[in-house]
Each structure stands twice: as structure tokens, then as C-alpha cells.
Structure 1
Amino acid sequence: MSTYRYSEQYRPPEARQVTDVAIERFADIFEVDPKLMTAHVVQQVFPNWDTLRIVASRHDHLDWMHRHWAEKVVSGQRLLDELDD
């Protein structure tokens, strides 16, 4: 069990600019750059462990949504390929 330190959990790692609109704070977790959203979306501060928990559970959530609502699942890559054609 690790010790919870408020200052460590509420100070996210330094962001690395990936594109003009995306940043990466944790490995393979991409976010819209918060500075692009401040005019219309109030930014919430929440602990680093919560970010990692949300990311870890996103596939479970998508699987649940697909089982309950989707007649078929279309990949994002397939949609992009259709746009290119």
C-alpha cells in the first residue's frame, strides 16, 4: 500500500506537447490541451490516481456500451479509410 500525499496526487506530471491540440502527461494517455478548452469548459482538478483509474476502465465501459446498445461495432480506422476514398 502506498502513502497518499495530496501534493503528489494533485500535481500532474509535466505535459509533453504531442500535436497542436494534444498533450501527454502519462504514458500513452493523450488529452486535449487544456489551454484550448478554458473558454468553454471549466477545468476540474482531480487526483492523478483518478485519471489512471478512468483510463484503466474505459475499455470495460466501451464493452458494456457495445453489449447493450450497439448492433455492430465499426472501427475508427474503417471510418477514416472511407473518408480517404
Structure 2
Amino acid sequence: MSGYRYSEQHRPPEARQVTDVAIERFEDVFEVDPKLMTVHVAQQVFPNWDTLRIVASRHDHLDWMHRHWARKVVSGQRLLDEMDE
């Protein structure tokens, strides 16, 4: 069992700039660069474990949304392919 250390959980890993607008702090977790959002969106600080929890459950959430609200689910890749044609 690991202990909760505020300083470890509230200081995210160093960000790696992926594109002009995206950063990556955790492997395969891309975020809009917070520098671009400070004017219109108040930034919240929350623990690293919560970020990882949200990421781990995002597919479950999308599946639930699709089952309850979508009449049709269209793949993002299909849309990109159509745009390239």
C-alpha cells in the first residue's frame, strides 16, 4: 500500500510539448496546453491519481453515452477518410 503524499500528487510530471497546442504529461494522455486556456478557462489543480482515474474510465463513459444517447456511432477514422477523399 502506498501513502498519499500531497506534494507528489499535486505536482504533475513535466509536460512534453507535442504540437503547438497539445502537451503530454502522462503517456498517451494529451491535453490542450494550459497556457492557451488561461484567459477563458480557469485552471484547476487536482491530484495525478484523479487524472489517471479519469483517463482509465473514459472508454466506459463513452460506451455508456453511446448506449444511452446515440442513434448511430460514426468512427473518427471514417470521418477523416471521408475528408481525405
- Which bin holds the TM-score, normalised by the shorter protein? over 0.9
Q: TM-score, normalised by structure 2?
A: 0.96
Identity, % of aligned positions: 89
Shift in Å, 1:11: 0.2
Extract unaligned runs of 5+ from structure 2.
none
Cross-structure match for 2:19: 19
Extract unaligned runs of 5+ from structure 1.
none
> SS where residue 12 of structure 1 aligns?
coil
Task: Return structure 1 stretches of 4+ with deviation > 3 angstroms.
Answer: none
Cross-structure match for 2:79: 79
Cross-structure match for 1:58: 58
- 1:53 counterpart letter in structure 2: R
Deviations 1:18-70 (A, max 9, x none): 00000000001000000000010000000000000000000000000011111
Aligned length, in residue pairs? 85
- 1:12 counterpart letter in structure 2: P
> SS where residue 81 of structure 1 aligns?
helix
CA RMSD of aligned residues (A): 0.7
